[in-house]
Amino acid sequence: MKKRILLTSFDTWLSDQVSNSSDDLLQEVSQVDSIPHDVKFLRLLPVDVMLASSWVIQKISELQPDYIICCGMAASRQRLSVEMGANQGEIFLATGVNLEKLVSGTVATDISSDCGKFVCEGLYYAVLDYLHQYQLTTRCIFVHVPVLNQENLVSILADFLLIIHNLALA
């Protein structure tokens, strides 16, 4: 049975941004024909924690995915970063996914404990909290995406597709 996977990305937030690398990556993924899973997209989320969280939670309720991969831009990073969890004040919520196993075989991906203090961490926390509160079996990860270019696109896309595959096997 195909695993249902929801992928999310953000819109731009600065006037000089042409695109958001998280959405650029999902655009690339949407053009891959050989993904053996039921992948759904929720792209161009508003860069607002409350709005983005409500959109994603509504989509989770509608689709009831097995897995969620939220993506955000990390312009200062050079590699994909899979986040261990998110903080809100003194509370830390960790993903229920074995990240060491998840990134096995990747070449341009790190495990990170720094989800940032921007909308990315707020969304990740809200989704993890929602899944926990409602005792859903859905698992969620957050992936930070560097700015994509000709030098890194192939390896970043390959790693992301491997992460999707590894997640579906978890």
Q: Are 20 and 73 in contact (CB under 8 A)?
A: yes
Cα(145)–Cα(156) distance, integer angstroms = 8
Cα(72)–Cα(75) distance, integer angstroms = 10
pLDDT at 22: 97
15 pLDDT band, cuts 50/70/90, is confident
Q: What percent of the chain is predicted at pLDDT more than 90? A: 89
At 63-107, the pLDDT tens digits run 999 999 999 999 999 999 999 999 999 999 999 999 999 999 999
| H helix count then E strand count, the chain | 5, 8
Q: In the predicted model, is pLDDT for residue 33 greater than 90?
A: no
pLDDT at 36: 86
pLDDT at 11: 95
Mean of the per-residue pLDDT values of the chain: 95
Q: What is the CATH number of the domain that holds 72?
A: 3.40.630.20
Q: What percent of the chain is predicted at pLDDT more than 70? A: 100
Q: In the predicted model, is pLDDT for residue 48 greater than 90?
A: yes
6 pLDDT band, cuts 50/70/90, is very high
Cα(139)–Cα(132) distance, integer angstroms = 10
Residue-number span of the structural domain to which 92 is assigned: 4-169
pLDDT at 4: 97
Domain count, the chain: 1
